[in-house]
Structures are given as structure tokens and as C-alpha cells.
Amino acid sequence: MKIRPTINHQDGTTIVEIVISTCILAILAAGLIGCFTYGFYVMELARENQRATQIILEKFETVRLYNWDQVLSPGFIPATFEDIYDPQAEAGSEGIAYHGTVRVTNVPFNTSYSSNMRELVISLTWTSSRNLTRTRTMSTYVAKDGVQNYVY
């Protein structure tokens, strides 16, 4: 007859194992929260940049429809403008203020047709919700015989 000794296993966790697993979970949760925070920040920057691009392109499209005399007329194109925008703001509350400048200057090159062209530069500056001053600038050329002659 063989007698086997019975081994009494009491499976359980010690306080050390609980503390270590809790620390690991806390580190993972902090990392996950950091990822969400960074993701929301990047989305906010992308939204602000997209809005700035929309504002600048809107100004370009407006100037594109002016005739040559209007482009050359001092003061016809406003030198400064402001656009306030926040898609999540309540009605009547202000959002981010975009401040813009418009410059119409001679073209930076010397050719036979340079007197029939002007350079249009639009700059936009705004302060993001995190108090960062941001700037976007775009430039293009306006020609005397441009697309504005084809608008009826």
C-alpha cells in the first residue's frame, strides 16, 4: 500500500502581489489618459488650422472676383479683418478670434508683364485656447487679365 502525502495548496494573493498589480494598472491608466489628452490637443490644433485655412481661402476667393481697377484702388480691399469662430460655443459667446491682414504689393520679380500683376498676401494670427499665438500666411498673384474678366 502506498501512502501519498496530501499537499494542501491554498491559492491566494498576498498583499505584495495586490500592490504591484495596482501600481501596474495605475501606470497603464495614466498612459491611457495621456494618450487621450494628446489626441484631443492634436484635434484642437487641426481644427484651428483648418478654420484658419478656410478664412484665408475665403478672402482669396473674394479678391479673385474683383476687377483690376478694384484691386489697384487703395482702401477697396480692407487691410485688416477679424473673424470669430468656435463651433462648440453657446449662442452669443465669443470663440477664438482670428485677426487678419491683407497686403497687395508689386510682384517680387522683374519681367515685361510685372506691371500687370500684383502679389496678394493674407496673414492670419490667433491665440489658441491654450494661450499659444499661432500664425498662417498664404500668398498668390492677381493678374490684370485674370479670371475676374470672365465673371458676368
Query: Which tens digits make up the pLDDT trace of 107-146?
Result: 988 888 888 999 999 999 999 888 899 999 999 999 888 7
46-84 pLDDT, tens per residue?
999 999 999 999 999 998 888 888 989 998 999 999 988
Local confidence band at 90 (pLDDT 50, 70, 90 cut-offs)? confident
Buried b (16+ CB within 10 A) or exposed e, 5-26: eeeeeeeeeeeeeeeeeeeeee
Distance between CA atoms of 101 and 81, rounded to whole angstroms?
Answer: 6
The pTM of this model reads 0.75
Query: Is the distance from CB of 77 to CB of 119 less than 8 angstroms?
Result: no
Q: Categorize the per-residue pLDDT at 24 as very low, low, confident or very high, splitting at 50, 70 and 90.
A: very high
Name the DSSP letter for residue 109.
S
- The domain spans of the chain are 15-147
Statement: residue 152 has pLDDT above 60 = no
Residue 110 has a CB neighbour count (10 Å cut-off) of 7
Decide which of 64 and 100 is more confident: 100
